[in-house]
Amino acid sequence: MRTYIIRRGIYMFIAMFGVATILFFMFRMLPGDPTAQVISPALDTATQERMKAAFGLDKPMHIQYVIYLKNLVTMEWGRSFTSSRPVVDILVYRFWNTIFLMVAGLFFALVIGITMGMIMAWRRNSFLDTGSTVGALFFQSAPPYITGILLLIIFSYKLDLLPTGGMLTAGTSVDQGFGLFFSTDFLYHLILPTVTVSLYYLATPMLIMRDSMLEVMGSDFIELAKAKGLAPITVMIKHAARNALLAVVTVSAIMVGMAIGGQVVVETVFSWPGMGSLMVESALSHDYPVAQATFFVLAALIIILNFVADLSYCYLDPRIKLSNSSQG
């Protein structure tokens, strides 16, 4: 168990280090000189050289790499090319906006998905079962921006019920603390993006819950519980669902990892000021310090969540522990 955790932890750091390295080479070796944004080729050579020295660009590649890694760890991520604000400041604000939207969306996807999956397994092959499967698969095949735009057309443009985007109504004073996340105006703006994220991720927990419920319900201990004369609802929730949840927990951490990548389009559609839309803005305007840092934060989140998925898997299902640890 302990060696397993340590081994997984080491893999996690290797992966982060790998992503950082790939990023370094990606931004320095690809066609198109990213420095041309700041150090204009129109300047005279002496000034160009001085500026390069100031950015450490005159040093050989391997030294630049070491400096890059050091800065990455100490969170000295430079300044934005476009707004010249420190990248860290921009990111901190965007980070929590993204996390809040993601947690809200995934929370509903999981709660509704697990409940629906349970009912669907109980009423197998009913209209509800088939209907929900087809519906969930539809929303999974539809990219989230299509669902998002559809919701916008219905609820914002036609019915005029909900705001079209942003995080607060224009003109509202921005409360800097976490109090912001619980103001009614904020929650009002949160509805449509949350529904979009939830619909997109609903199918995974729902279908997995359904399938693993079916599997569990064939086991002897369920028969025993039934034979004891327990009410069907008790058997369903206390005995079957508890065991079926295992599979969902494992998948949900991986799902969260996927959701971070998918956040990009949802945030763009709803002009949500999170890391996803920041990523798109900075990539479009070639603001490389911001793009690079945002990408690294997103990747680090995914890698950490994959690690959590591995750990929860091995914590929840002791059968896996030893047999799987050697396979990596």
Partner 1 sequence: MALESIKEGLTTHFRIITKHKFGTFGALVLLFFSIIAIFAPYIAPHTPWETLRTSAGKLALLKPPSGEFLLGTTAMGRDLFSQMIFATRTTVYIGFVSGMISIIIGANIGLISGFYGGKLDEVLMRFTDIVWGMPFLPFIIILISLFGRKLEFVILAICLVIWRSSARVIRAQTLAIKQRQFILAAKARGCSNLRIIYRHIMPNILPLLILYTAFNIAWSVIAEAGASFLGFGDPTNLSWGGILFSLWISSKIRVAWWWFAAPAICIILLVSALVFISRSYEEVANPRLRKR
Interaction site with partner 1 (CB under 8 A): 11, 14-16, 18-19, 22, 26-27, 30-32, 34, 137-138, 141-143, 145-146, 149-150, 152-153, 157, 211, 214, 258, 260-262, 264-265, 268, 276, 279-280, 283-284, 286, 291, 294-295, 298-300, 302-303, 306, 327-328
Neighbouring C-beta atoms of residue 157, cutoff 10 Å: 10
Q: Between 113 and 144, name the residue whose CB sits nearer to partner 1.
A: 144
Task: Quote the least distance from Cβ 17 to partner 1, whole Å.
Answer: 8
Task: Quote the least distance from Cβ 126 to partner 1, whole Å.
Answer: 16
Task: Quote the least distance from Cβ 70 to partner 1, whole Å.
Answer: 21
Question: Per the structure block, which two tokens stand in for 168?
Answer: 């607060």
Task: Quote the least distance from Cβ 317 to partner 1, whole Å.
Answer: 18
Q: Between 160 and 220, name the residue whose CB sits nearer to partner 1.
A: 160
Which residues on neighbouring strands pair with residue 79, listed in sequence order?
86
Q: Between 25 and 315, name the residue whose CB sits nearer to partner 1.
A: 25
Q: Between 26 and 111, name the residue whose CB sits nearer to partner 1.
A: 26
What CA–CA distances, in Å, run from 111 to 201, 211, 221, 274, 313?
A: 11, 16, 25, 24, 19
Q: Between 186 and 279, name the residue whose CB sits nearer to partner 1.
A: 279
Contact (CB, 8 A) for 118 and 111: no
Query: What span, in angstroms and rounded, lies between the C-alpha atoms of 128 and 123?
Result: 8
Question: In the chain, what's the furthest Cα-to-Cα distance?
Answer: 89
- Cβ-Cβ contacts under 8 Å for 312 (sequence gap 6 or more): 249, 250, 253
